[in-house]
Chain A
Amino acid sequence: MSKDLFKNRYQVIRIIIASFALIFILRLFYLQVISTKYVALANNNAIKELDVYPTRGMIYDRKGELIVFNEAIYDLMVTPFETKKAKGFDTLKMCELLSISKEEVLDRFEKMKKQKGYIRIPNVFAKQLSLKDYSRLQEYMYLFPGFYGQVRTIRKYPHRVAATILGDIGEVDDKQIETSKGYYKPGDYVGKSGIEKVYEKELGGKRGKKFSFFDVNGRDVGSFGSGEFDTLAISGDNVIATLDIKLQEYAEKLMQNKKGSLVAIEPETGEILALVSSPGYDPNLLCGSVRGKNFNALLTDSLLPLYSRPTLATYPPGSSFKPIVALIALHEGVQGVNYGYPCNQAYNAGGVIVHCSHAHPSPTNIQYALAQSCNPYFCQTFRNSLEKNPGMSTTQSYDKWVKICNSFGLGVKTGIDLPSEVRGNIPTVNYFNKIYGEGRWKFATIISLGIGQGEVLTTPLQMANIFACISNKGYWHTPHIVKKITDPVTNKDVTHQYEKHIALIDKQHFDPVIEGLFQVVEMGTARAARVEGITLCGKTGTAQNPHGDNHSMFAGFAPKDDAKIAISVVVENGGYGATYAAPIASLIVEKYLNDTIATKRLDLEKRMVETNLLHKYGVKTNKSAGMNAEGEE
């Protein structure tokens, strides 16, 4: 039937050839002229937009000492396709150099398979190798086709202290990625706590972009359009902290093996000189490849090393609160400086008996009452404040009392530039109304507030701050940890202005109270903290602790007339304020003002350093002290 059609075989063959050629040309026309998606696909293939990571800013202390810097580490990358092409690599040598098992090697390759197209892209094989490990590996790199090292940086903390303040960096979490509107990508590092977190924007710098050609094995083979589309990364700013790193080191040494806090502030400016959360940990523990492991260990430590005690822990301030009670009474005019009250070791407030901690002559003025920390005297003073204010009811008087406390930064957040802070507690009128009913409570109901017990709670930071305020005779600056921020390229400084807060107390009332605080150390409860040649003022406190031994507390400032340092110390379960807190505070003050410790006080220093209260917390050793940072064996 078709014989006629194929009679001219020559023509048939020519038609076959021509038709296939036509099909090809049409197909090419479709691919190259009609369809436009291939150009984009090709560009996606070959041109990649790369992030250029800026150098993270460094952190210096107030004297210019470098306290945080970046160190180069290496990620060992592998492109499985290249390894496969070269018929594998020397697994045994790799195991030996990285000290991992063969199973681990296989496991790591297995894990890469989760990523789509993993075979042709570089995958992280070993994360964050130290320079030492990497250089050892580099000698044998020829045995490992498809592997190469990629330089990254990690943070280093040469002084190994101040973890709470400096903070740490870690991989950005999903929530941050979402709120950053596309700036952060999974795997980016951001500050997780401390200065690193609060000043992330300044320290982090600005990422740049680079357009590069990539070959099929994911190797960068040169920039696209000779770099005209690239943007430079802007290095992070350097941060000058208010911290005195030497003082911080000394403070951490004194606080070692004790649970508690130490906060030192420069009263004039509100700059934090030292801030210790004990037990602390070496911030290097949370850097590099060991971060995950160490973080979990610290998280489960019963001593809570990750907890920032100075800003988060609250204690009843105990007797350390008495200067405030005194100042309010003087300001409100409910009693004079020379108001006397007989102390018979107990104060009966409508059936509630408040005892005095020790026997002492009856106070005839407020200075002496402070020096002896007389409980009945301050119960009476508090009562006077509530009941003897002319024309004001107890409730009104108490409301004012609360407001004045607030003006000292008590019961409110101080506004420190650290990521987390609690406000403590100064119970309000409403609070008592709710508990006892309106008009159904009086001074006797809340008498313990007068001696810093009961519902009143303060953080160690707030305690240091109120003593800074007292030394300033009525004002305080928002306590802060960062002095200024410097652009490393232009060397331009940005200095933050921190708010000046005025305490609602007339200036003249501070002098008698300061005098009283001076006598506390000169001849009162804190005699043990007396330093020859330094006019240290302060107040001990012994906060009752329902869970165990009382907390030892001290807060103060020095020198008396021109304070350079205000300090608060809490040693949990340390007993009397005079036992540990006051001596430690005095050592810090002495160190800061004199730069050395007087010879005759070296014994005291030694005793404080060696005091180990860990048994009181049910542990034998501080776990974090036995942990290793990156690159340590």
Chain B
Amino acid sequence: MARKQESLTGKIDWLTVILYAMLAVFGWFIIYSASAGGTEKSIFDSTIPSGKQFQWMIACVVVAFIILLLSSRLYVTLSYPIFIFVLLLVISVMFIGVSINHQKNWIRLGSFTMQPSEFAKFGVSLALAKFMSGLNVDIRKWKDKWKAFSVIAIPMGIVLIQGDAGSAIVFLALSLVLFREGLESYFLIIGASVVVLGIFALIISKYILAGVLLALAIIIIYFSRRNKKLIWYLLGIWILASGYIFSVDYAFKKMKPHQQDRINVLLGKQVQEGKDWNIKQSIIAIGSGGFIGKGYLQGTQTKLKFVPEQSTDFIFSSLGEEFGFLGSAFIILLFVALFFRLLYLAERQRSKFSRVYGYCVACILFFHFLVNVGMVIGVAPVIGIPLPFISYGGSALLSFTVLLFIFIRLDTQRYDMMR
């Protein structure tokens, strides 16, 4: 028993654990500053967010231990049951959920509340890994494509119906996983084009945009020495693109007003007074941090509550204000280091299950990071999702921990043959 334990410790990728711990502890300090900076209360005071977060951090250590102690086979075996369970949990929210901040996606368990959509991420990741590691599964085949897409789209759709667009959008991260597993490049290109064209369609006149695209196509045709096949291709693409451009406006108008506002704010369009409050204040807080920041607990903007949701979704602005460019860049590099490490670990797996799961973890964390930091520094629309390990929130921290440590556990078995 003791020998096995020892060997397990030796196999754990401590670099990942250290990066994880650094982010969590750093986040905890910022939560304290953002929620109680300047007051007499201790960082452990359980009446303030930092104290509660501390309790959750201890819970995470326990959970991480349990995950490491359990057999890694368990996750492979239980992938589908866990997926089904999580799916049911997410659906049940519609019936037994409680509202927090006007979003009915929480479940109350005794004295604490949790957000099942957080746990859906690792359920889906397990299921996707399990499916992809199946015999003869090839993502290039449409038969398998549909199945893989369904595993992602079904929970995503349920979460979307519940109105939690932020959590839903994270599932898109898993398309990167499929890309790694061989999904054709044009999916990525089309995806990127859709985003870029969509943004342009909202900023500039749709007719001009369609015209520019046509001009672009003509130029390409001219330089390709009038390849007939290409002409038809490009013409088809142009018609599709134009159709999309014109439908963007329609889709935009179908969105909820607050979502429209958030996109308008991002695009720099005039919005009603106060609608751009959050993002304006967030940028002011970050910008006022300067190169080295105002110092820990010295932030005025976040401490004086100018930035809303400052300990949860907008925590990065507290960090930017108090630790300046140095601190924020350091955290970004810390995240990049974690992502690269996870990708590296995923790549070295012999088992396809572990590799796919590893990519899922890296991509989900990356998407959270992308959307959250992008929002806070004003380059992405306001979508309320937490910054992994840093934002205040027990169920988020716990779900990210579970997500990550299952992979760390799988990684310890990388030399074992598993399918």
Contacts and interface: CB of A to CB of B under 8 A. Distances in A.
Contacts of A214: 304
A29 interface: yes
B246 interface: no
Given A31-B286, A37-B287, A215-B304, A24 B373 contact: yes
A40 to B, nearest CB: 8
Contacts of B185: 2-3, 5-6
Interface in B368-417: 370, 373-374, 377-379
Contact of B300 (A6, A35, A37, A42): A42
Contact of A21 (B333, B343, B377): B333
Interface residues of B, number: 47
Nearest to A222: B38
A28 B176 contact: no
B179 interface: yes
A215 B281 CA distance: 12
Contacts of B340: 14, 17
A180 to B, nearest CB: 31
A589 to B, nearest CB: 67
B320 A32 contact: yes
Max chain B Cβ within 10 angstroms of own Cβ: one of A2, A13, A20: A13
B273 A32 contact: no
B288 interface: yes
Contact of B274 (A5, A23, A119): A119
Contacts of B287: 31-32, 35, 37-39, 41-42
Interface in B339-365: 339-340, 343, 347, 359, 363
A47 interface: yes
A46 interface: yes
A45 interface: yes
B180 A10 contact: yes
B194 interface: no
Nearest to B293: A32
Contacts of B320: 28, 31-32
Contacts of B179: 9, 12-13
Contact of A39 (B288, B306, B335, B359): B288
A132 B254 CA distance: 55
A46 B305 CA distance: 10
A20 B286 contact: no
A31 B280 CA distance: 12
A13 B174 CA distance: 12
B372 to A, nearest CB: 11
A216 interface: yes
B333 A32 contact: no
A25 interface: yes
A18 B366 CA distance: 11
Contacts of A116: 273
Interface in A41-63: 41-43, 45-47
Contact of B370 (A5, A20, A33, A117): A20
A79 to B, nearest CB: 12
B76 to A, nearest CB: 23
Contacts of B53: none
A45 B180 contact: no
A221 interface: yes
Contacts of A17: 336, 339-340, 343, 366
Contacts of A21: 332-333, 335-336
B418 interface: no
Contacts of B291: 32-33
Contacts of B180: 9-10, 13
Nearest to B186: A2
Interface stretch (B24-32, B158-166, B323-331): B323-331
Contacts of B288: 38-39, 41-43
A41 B347 CA distance: 47
B329 A25 contact: yes
A17 B366 CA distance: 8
Contact of A24 (B176, B321, B377): B377
Contacts of A28: 286, 320, 325, 328-329, 332, 377
B229 to A, nearest CB: 13
A43 B306 CA distance: 12
A213 B284 CA distance: 16
Contact of A33 (B290, B336, B379): B290
Interface in B266-313: 273-274, 281, 283-291, 300-301, 304-306
B216 interface: no
B377 A31 contact: yes
B96 interface: no
18 contacts: A3-B185, A9-B179, A13-B179, A18-B336, A21-B333, A24-B374, A27-B377, A27-B379, A28-B325, A29-B329, A31-B283, A32-B291, A33-B290, A42-B287, A45-B301, A46-B304, A215-B306, A216-B304
Given A38-B284, A119-B274, 8 more contacts: A3-B185, A10-B347, A23-B379, A24-B379, A38-B287, A42-B284, A117-B274, A215-B305
Interface of B: 176, 179-180, 182, 185, 188-189, 273-274, 281, 283-291, 300-301, 304-306, 320-321, 324-325, 328-329, 332-333, 335-336, 339-340, 343, 347, 359, 363, 366, 370, 373-374, 377-379
Give me the 7 closest cross-chain CB pairs, A-B, nearest first.
A38-B287, A42-B288, A215-B304, A32-B325, A46-B300, A216-B305, A31-B287
